[in-house]
């Protein structure tokens, strides 16, 4: 009954269809017969959705989100194709335009998000894959797809054009995301979020369904806001982000790695523990390395010991730390760290100079002071955490490999910085043991 009402609400014909069938046979049997596909897929889908959501560790949240964008995009694209197939022959131009947008954004989101998922989970190398004339060919293909969209809107009866237009975005999604390196993922994920919303909204236009238009618009707006926040946090223009040029910084900057002659100061676990135990205030700067090492719980343990010792412990969260907006916040919340101790960049950046120890856990480019004073650096102008201004700075690092931008981090060579090499979780566990 509920389904009948619902059916009537979304599409008058279905309600009528149901009533007709129900009148002829047993209502329940008719119900299952009519909606067997919906019921079956609904239960399977719910089971998969709950299983993924309940079991996935918080460190893998970016993968989960990328995957759900892929599902959303696929659903929109399939509904679009199904709608075209069904209505073929009597589609007007406006509906065709909406269907076109739906299939375009849906397909783009689907393969783009799958690529993002592959890169985040390590199935595809996270490095930027590049080829000659990449941006030019991508933009050309994107333009070509739009031309197809216009042509198909003018002539909705041309099936070849439509299916070509439906296939192009699938390829485009792969080509657009392939060149983008891992650390640019926050921008990609938020952008795909926005596209998924636009696809849902276009579905609403094609089906004349206001709920869909609204839900899609809200999703699109949210994705848009977040991608603006992300691109601001990386000091890239929005245009730069949209045209996929942002993966290209690496090569240009490899030449800038100049600090070959300088030496870093290495600190043992004992030294680090001593520095921390003597500190009156500590600011932790987490980065993607913390998620990779799954070190958030041991960070929490360390904070507990330090706080019991009378040390003030706070956390400086850079907007693009991690692989998606809010990634670090969720991880630290999982480790039962009170959210009041999690500070945003603007809130805490002036406090570094009055802080005894900045503890950098798996972050790199977001604490590179070169962004503040070296115009030659590719990240020049990007807001960074002032970890270099703290009285001393402990950096937990696996090796001396530079960050995603391919540049050396000046922070590592600063006189008040010490580096402790090793897996962040192991190192911190040893520090906790030494302190307790």
Partner 1 sequence: MLEIFLGLYIFMLAAFVGYGVIKGVPALLHTPLMAFTNAISGISLVGSLVAAGAHYNDVSTVLGAIAVLCATINVVGGFWITDRMLRMFKKQDPKADAAGDAAS
Catalytic (active-site) positions: 365
Q: How many chain residues are in contact with partner 1, going by CB under 8 A?
A: 93
3-state secondary structure of 208: coil
Q: Which is nearer to partner 1, 96 or 396 (CB)?
A: 96
Sheet of 312-317, strands arranged across: 342-344, 312-317, 281-286, 357-361, 392-397, 417-421
Q: How far is the CB of 308 from partner 1 (least distance, A)?
A: 17
Task: Quote the DSSP letter at residue 266.
Answer: B
Q: How far is the CB of 130 from partner 1 (least distance, A)?
A: 28
Q: How far is the CB of 111 from partner 1 (least distance, A)?
A: 14
Q: Is 232 in the site for partner 1 (CB under 8 A)?
A: no
The span from the CA of 407 to the CA of 420, in Å, is: 20
> Which residues fall within 8 angstroms of residue 212, CB to CB, at 6 or more apart?
200, 201, 203, 204
8 A C-beta contact, residue 379 and residue 318 = no
| Of positions 2, 24, 37, 399, contacts partner 1 by CB under 8 A | 37
The span from the CA of 353 to the CA of 306, in Å, is: 20
H or E element at residue 105: helix 93-121
Give residues 337-356 in contact with partner 1 (rule: CB under 8 A).
Answer: 337-340, 342, 344
| Of positions 130, 271, 326, 374, contacts partner 1 by CB under 8 A | 326
Q: Is 201 in the site for partner 1 (CB under 8 A)?
A: yes
Q: Is 32 in the site for partner 1 (CB under 8 A)?
A: no
3-state secondary structure of 395: strand
| Of positions 183, 226, 299, 414, contacts partner 1 by CB under 8 A | 226
Helix, strand and coil in the chain, % to nearest 5: 65, 5, 25
The span from the CA of 242 to the CA of 112, in Å, is: 13
| Of positions 139, 217, 245, 292, contacts partner 1 by CB under 8 A | 217
| Of positions 63, 72, 248, 414, contacts partner 1 by CB under 8 A | 72
| Of positions 99, 207, 306, 384, contacts partner 1 by CB under 8 A | 207
Q: Which is nearer to partner 1, 204 or 403 (CB)?
A: 204
Q: How far is the CB of 162 from partner 1 (least distance, A)?
A: 14
99-124: burial string, b at 16+ Cβ within 10 Å, e else:
bbbbbbbbbbbbbbbbbbbbbbeeeb
Q: Is 278 in the site for partner 1 (CB under 8 A)?
A: no
Only one of the segments 150-158, 201-209, 235-243, 405-413 lies at the binding site for partner 1 (rule: CB under 8 A); that segment is 201-209
Task: Quote the DSSP letter at residue 387.
Answer: G
Q: Which is nearer to partner 1, 116 or 275 (CB)?
A: 116
| Of positions 4, 59, 63, 69, contacts partner 1 by CB under 8 A | 69
Give residues 2-21 in contact with partner 1 (rule: CB under 8 A).
Answer: 7, 10-11, 13-14, 17
| Of positions 96, 199, 241, 363, contacts partner 1 by CB under 8 A | 199
Angle, nearest 10°, between helix axes 134-154 and 159-177? 150
Q: Is 424 in the site for partner 1 (CB under 8 A)?
A: no
């Amino acid at each position: 009954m509920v389904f009948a009402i619902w059916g009537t609400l979304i599409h008058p014909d279905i309600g009528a269809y149901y009533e007709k069938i129900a009148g002829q046979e047993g209502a329940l049997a008719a119900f299952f017969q009519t909606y067997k596909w919906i019921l079956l897929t609904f239960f399977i889908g719910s089971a998969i959705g709950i299983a993924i959501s309940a079991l996935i560790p918080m460190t893998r949240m970016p993968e989960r989100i990328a995957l759900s964008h892929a599902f959303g995009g696929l659903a929109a694209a399939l509904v679009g194709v199904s709608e075209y197939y069904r209505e073929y022959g009597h589609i007007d131009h406006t509906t065709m335009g909406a269907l076109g947008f739906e299939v375009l954004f849906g397909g783009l989101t689907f393969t783009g998000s799958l690529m993002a998922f592959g890169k985040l989970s390590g199935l595809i190398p996270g490095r930027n894959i590049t080829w000659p004339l990449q941006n030019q060919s991508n933009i050309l293909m994107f333009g070509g797809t739009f031309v197809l969209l216009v042509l198909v809107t003018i002539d909705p009866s041309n099936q070849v054009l439509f299916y070509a237009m439906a296939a192009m975005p699938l390829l485009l999604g792969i080509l657009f995301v392939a060149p983008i390196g891992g650390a640019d993922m926050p921008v990609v994920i938020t952008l795909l979020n926005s596209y998924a919303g636009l696809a849902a909204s276009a579905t609403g236009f094609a089906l004349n369904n206001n709920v869909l238009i609204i839900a899609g618009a809200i999703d699109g707006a949210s994705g848009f806001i977040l991608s603006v926040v992300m691109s601001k946090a990386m000091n890239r223009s929005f245009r730069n982000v949209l045209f996929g040029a942002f993966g290209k910084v690496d090569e240009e900057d490899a030449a800038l790695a100049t600090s070959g002659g300088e030496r870093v100061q290495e600190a043992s676990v004992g030294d680090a523990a001593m520095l921390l135990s003597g500190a009156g205030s500590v600011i932790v700067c987490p980065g993607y390395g913390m998620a990779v090492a799954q070190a958030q719980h041991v960070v929490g343990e360390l904070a507990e010991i330090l706080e019991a010792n009378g040390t003030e412990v706070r956390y400086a969260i850079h907007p693009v730390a991690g692989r998606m907006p809010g990634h670090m916040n969720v991880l630290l919340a999982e480790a039962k760290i009170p959210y009041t101790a999690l500070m945003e960049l603007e809130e805490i950046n002036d406090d570094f100079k009055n802080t005894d120890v900045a503890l950098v856990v798996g972050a790199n480019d977001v604490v590179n002071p070169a962004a503040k004073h070296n115009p030659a650096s590719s990240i020049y102008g990007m807001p960074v955490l002032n970890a270099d201004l703290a009285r001393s700075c402990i950096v937990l690092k696996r090796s001396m490999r530079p960050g995603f931008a391919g540049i050396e981090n000046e922070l590592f060579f600063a006189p008040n910085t010490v580096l402790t090499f090793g897996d962040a979780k192991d190192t911190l566990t040893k520090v906790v043991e030494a302190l307790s």
